[in-house]
Structure 1
Amino acid sequence: MSVISNATISKIPGISETRHLEIKFSPNLEVRSNSFKSATKIRTLIISHNRIINKIYRNSFQDLPVHSLKLTNNSISSIFPRAFSNLSLLEALQVDYNNLQEIPTGVFVNLPVKSLKLSHNKIFTIKNAALEDLSNLNKLMLDHNNLETIFLHKILKYPQRLEILWLHNNSLTAVSNYMLLKMNNLKILNLGFNPLTSIEPNSFSQTPKLNYLVLTNTHLKEIDGNVFPRTGMDYLENMYLDNSKLMYLKSNFFVGLGSLRKVTLVGNPWLCPCLTAVERILAENNVREMCAEAYTNGSRPICVNDQVNNECKPIYNEALSEKYERYKTEHPFYTPTINCIL
């Protein structure tokens, strides 16, 4: 494939008639203002696996009739204000697998985008109102970044229109009842693979239409049922609770979760009597435990026991928990981690 630089983008043969364009593996690609102004019929533009020189400049893609724009794996470290502006037909935008550290305000202007993917960057901050011009946004992917906190209603003008939110593999340590404010149409929320240690009461009262909740691979030692409202969680059918630090669930945990149908529990240092109590509640309510095969076949211990108590006492036992985690570390799976999809 020929090397394409800013000077030659406009000279690509037939670019004025091109509807689908891919630019890949160019070591010195630069995208500057009006680089693609000749591509007047473009519908899909993919720029990937290039070494773009640091930045995406103002008006780089202005006024293009593009429906899908993908900027994947290009070493982009910053984006100028109005880099994406007046793309009146744009539905999906990806700027993933790059080196972005922050999302400033004014980058996205007058875009009808429904899906925005900023995954696999180094983002630690998103400025207030940075995404407010994305009034049609219903899918936001911010996974695999360095976010420690996020308040969606501060960066989005219409958080109530968001349906899918990916926040897994960040640096979030807590979920507050302020974090998900106004997200009353959210259906899928992935908070897995974060060092979460706490979830505030009523945190999920803002998400009554939630259908999938992912809390896998966190540092949570306890989840109280008061994180959910007592009524109103009528759509929550799928919940991931596996591979965290849980030893028990409070007796009120399942109150208000009458629609729950599938759950994952494995990989936690459950106290055996407490796990039995949880499984009994699941059976009584026709909730299926999923993705437990590698544990139930004997490859891993399912629970721990102090050999003293045969009843569930909700008291955290640090010594047993650490012993369980040490066993997991010393006896790793020699097959890829279970890809569990409910």
Structure 2
Amino acid sequence: MIPPQLTMSSFHLHLAIVIGFCTQMVLADCPRLCECKWKSGKESVSCPNANLSSVPLHLEAGTQVLDLSRNNLVTVKHDEFGKAGLLNLQKVYISQCRLKSLERYAFRKLINLVELDLSHNALTTVPSHTFDSIPELRELKLNNNPIQRIHNDAFVNVPQLIRLELSECRITTVEPRAFYGLETTLEWLKLDYNKLTEVLSSSFTILQNLHGLELAGNPWNCSCPLRPLREWMLRKNVPFGIPPVCQNPKRLHSKPWDKLDLDEFACIPEIFAYESKTRGVEGKNVTMTCRIAGIPEPSVRWLLKNKVIANLSGASYSNGKKLYMVHLQNNSSDLTIFSADLQDAGVYVCAAENKAGRAEASVTLAVIRKPPETAFNNKILIASVITGIALVLASCLIALCIYSVRKKQMLTWRTRECRREDNYEKIEMNHKVAGNSNGGAVQAEIAVVATKKNGEYRVVPVADNEEVEEEEEGNANVEVAAKKVWGDSAIEKRWNSPEHLLDPEDLHIPRRTLQEAR
């Protein structure tokens, strides 16, 4: 039986032999000026200052880290890493190689590449055209390249990018869409020590997970265009290592951002008068207006003879207190003078002021005398119109009253005529009946009945045949009345007796003809 100590010793010996053999094999394939070794758990090849002008060939295919810094690698051509069989590369360092250009497919087939260092070279633009071959890139260094502008969508093909370094370039402009595609992934962004004076806040505010933003070393103009960015950084509490410092304006020179109030990021107000000269009429209100713009919103004052005009106040004149009204709305300011006087003429100054400074605009007011009143001024004209209308209404009312009175008189006259005719007929009938001595009481009663009946139709014109019918009907009514008093037989006997026979002419009462009634 083999002791355990001997077994372990044999295992270690065999392991040492295998490692030595592998090391010799690796060293055999490693270039003369390169170093090939395991580092941080990865197979690494480091070739600094090896005077290489291209990617070295015959390296181990399993190489994961390749450092080509400080060589003369001016250009990287299409598929140069692929031709060297280095398809497992995860990190590539091409720093300080005087690199000027990268052909589009320089990194093609490097699907595992997560870190790329192109710093301290001669690249004038971000090599966006090469990124579509390395979509898994996590870290990109472009420090110390003469890059002047970051164009829109420069990193749209590396959506997994977490860290981006663009320090110590010559960047003067960051376009609004420069970091599109990195909204949720980018955490660290370095733009320090460039030539930035102003940037649009929208270039950075889209970065939702930013944990660090380095902007120090730029000649910042801390005016109103920079205010939205500073406001966003304060609101999101975006950290930075070294605070940025203002170079302009002069009032903020050499002052760090973290020591400035937000309103210090301001622009001098802009102001102009709609009318530099205006005219008013004595006794009427006059309004002057000026247009104002400024960030932050400036305070506005109106002045006359270097004295501030307070709202709804004014200077005392012999005729009382002068009143003004200052109204600020929609980036404009209005000054209204109530009941202007000749003494109100002069130069009025509209002044706007904020943290950045002050701006002024002047309006010259001329007041003309009130025109003399004429005989037919507006008040007299209005009074005349009202008087005329009153006269017309009065005339109509008088005419209506006259018409009503005349109509009433006509009705009264017609009523009297009817009553007169009725009375006449009654008198004549009573006379006829009373003239007969034998039939006094009966004939009086008959006369009353006849009068009532005939009286109802006296005032109504009728034709001849209608008169005959009415007369017969009247006689019949007389006969009926008599029968009620004496009975049928007595009346018939009395009526038919010669001495008591009534003459029809005696019962006839003359009537007015139709023409007479009219």
TM-score by length of 1: 0.60
Verify the 8 A CA contact 1:174 1:196 in the aligned structure 2: yes
After superposition, the C-alpha distances for 1:23-54 in whole angstroms (9 at most, x for unaligned) are xxxxxxxxxxxxxxxx7342797xxxxxxxxx
Q: Which amino acid aligns with 1:209?
A: Q
Match of 1:266 among 216, 236, 248: 216
CA gap of 1:103–1:280, structure 2 versus 1, over 3 A, is same
Q: Name the SS of the counterpart of 1:160 in structure 2.
A: coil
Give, in whole Å, the separation in 2 of the partners of 1:44 and 1:247.
Answer: 56
Give, in whole Å, the separation in 1 of the partners of 2:89 and 2:108.
Answer: 10
CA gap of 1:19–1:220, structure 2 versus 1, over 3 A, is farther
Q: Which amino acid aligns with 1:107?
A: L
Whether 2:267 is the aligned partner of 1:311: answer: yes
Give, in whole Å, the separation in 2 of the partners of 1:114 and 1:69.
Answer: 19
Whether 2:193 is the aligned partner of 1:243: answer: yes
**CA positional deviation for 1:183:** 2.3
**CA positional deviation for 1:252:** 2.0
Unaligned residue ranges in structure 1 (runs of 5+) = 1-16, 21-38, 46-59, 73-83, 296-300, 314-342
Match of 1:93 among 45, 48, 73: 45
Q: Which structure has the higher relative contact order (CA within 8 Å, separation 6+)?
A: 1
Give, in whole Å, the separation in 2 of the partners of 1:245 and 1:107.
Answer: 40
Q: Which amino acid aligns with 1:304?
A: N
Give, in whole Å, the separation in 2 of the partners of 1:130 and 1:182.
Answer: 13
Give, in whole Å, the separation in 2 of the partners of 1:285 and 1:19.
Answer: 56
CA gap of 1:93–1:18, structure 2 versus 1, over 3 A, is farther
Partner in structure 1 of residue 238 of structure 2: 287
Give, in whole Å, the separation in 2 of the partners of 1:44 and 1:222.
Answer: 51
Give, in whole Å, the separation in 1 of the partners of 2:165 and 2:241.
Answer: 13
Verify the 8 A CA contact 1:143 1:170 in the aligned structure 2: yes
After superposition, the C-alpha distances for 1:199-226 in whole angstroms (9 at most, x for unaligned) are 2321110111111100100111011131
Partner in structure 2 of residue 148 of structure 1: 100
Verify the 8 A CA contact 1:168 1:192 in the aligned structure 2: yes
Give RMSD over aligned pairs. Answer: 3.4
Give, in whole Å, the separation in 1 of the partners of 2:107 and 2:136.
Answer: 14
**CA positional deviation for 1:270:** 0.5
Give, in whole Å, the separation in 2 of the partners of 1:209 and 1:185.
Answer: 6
Q: Name the SS of the counterpart of 1:226 in structure 2.
A: coil
Q: Which amino acid aligns with 1:256?
A: I
Unaligned residue ranges in structure 2 (runs of 5+) = 1-15, 253-264, 270-518
Verify the 8 A CA contact 1:275 1:303 in the aligned structure 2: no
TM-score by length of 2: 0.41
Q: Which moved more, 1:187-196 or 1:232-241?
A: 232-241
**CA positional deviation for 1:119:** 0.7
Give, in whole Å, the separation in 2 of the partners of 1:312 and 1:148.
Answer: 44
CA gap of 1:185–1:170, structure 2 versus 1, over 3 A, is same
Q: Name the SS of the counterpart of 1:180 in structure 2.
A: helix
Verify the 8 A CA contact 2:151 2:174 in the aligned structure 1: no
CA gap of 1:109–1:42, structure 2 versus 1, over 3 A, is closer
Whether 2:179 is the aligned partner of 1:228: answer: yes
**CA positional deviation for 1:114:** 0.9
The number of residues matched between the two structures is 235
Give, in whole Å, the separation in 2 of the partners of 1:167 and 1:312.
Answer: 42
Partner in structure 1 of residue 119 of structure 2: 168
Verify the 8 A CA contact 2:227 2:266 in the aligned structure 1: no
Verify the 8 A CA contact 1:237 1:262 in the aligned structure 2: yes
Give, in whole Å, the separation in 2 of the partners of 1:155 and 1:108.
Answer: 18
After superposition, the C-alpha distances for 1:132-165 in whole angstroms (9 at most, x for unaligned) are 12111110000111111224x5123324321000
Verify the 8 A CA contact 1:19 1:44 in the aligned structure 2: no
Give, in whole Å, the separation in 2 of the partners of 1:139 and 1:109.
Answer: 15
Partner in structure 2 of residue 338 of structure 1: none
Verify the 8 A CA contact 1:266 1:302 in the aligned structure 2: no
Q: Name the SS of the counterpart of 2:100 in structure 1.
A: coil
**CA positional deviation for 1:276:** 4.5
Partner in structure 1 of residue 455 of structure 2: none
After superposition, the C-alpha distances for 1:165-197 in whole angstroms (9 at most, x for unaligned) are 001100011114313223221111010111111
Verify the 8 A CA contact 2:111 2:133 in the aligned structure 1: yes
Match of 1:71 among 34, 54, 68: 34
Give, in whole Å, the separation in 1 of the partners of 2:94 and 2:217.
Answer: 26
Partner in structure 2 of residue 198 of structure 1: 149
CA gap of 1:252–1:275, structure 2 versus 1, over 3 A, is closer
Partner in structure 1 of residue 323 of structure 2: none
Which one has a bigger Cα radius of gyration?
2
Match of 2:81 among 112, 131, 135: 131
Partner in structure 2 of residue 40 of structure 1: 21
**CA positional deviation for 1:116:** 0.6
Match of 2:28 among 61, 86, 96: 61
Partner in structure 2 of residue 211 of structure 1: 162
After superposition, the C-alpha distances for 1:306-333 in whole angstroms (9 at most, x for unaligned) are 66993399xxxxxxxxxxxxxxxxxxxx
Give, in whole Å, the separation in 2 of the partners of 1:90 and 1:306.
Answer: 53
**CA positional deviation for 1:109:** 5.7
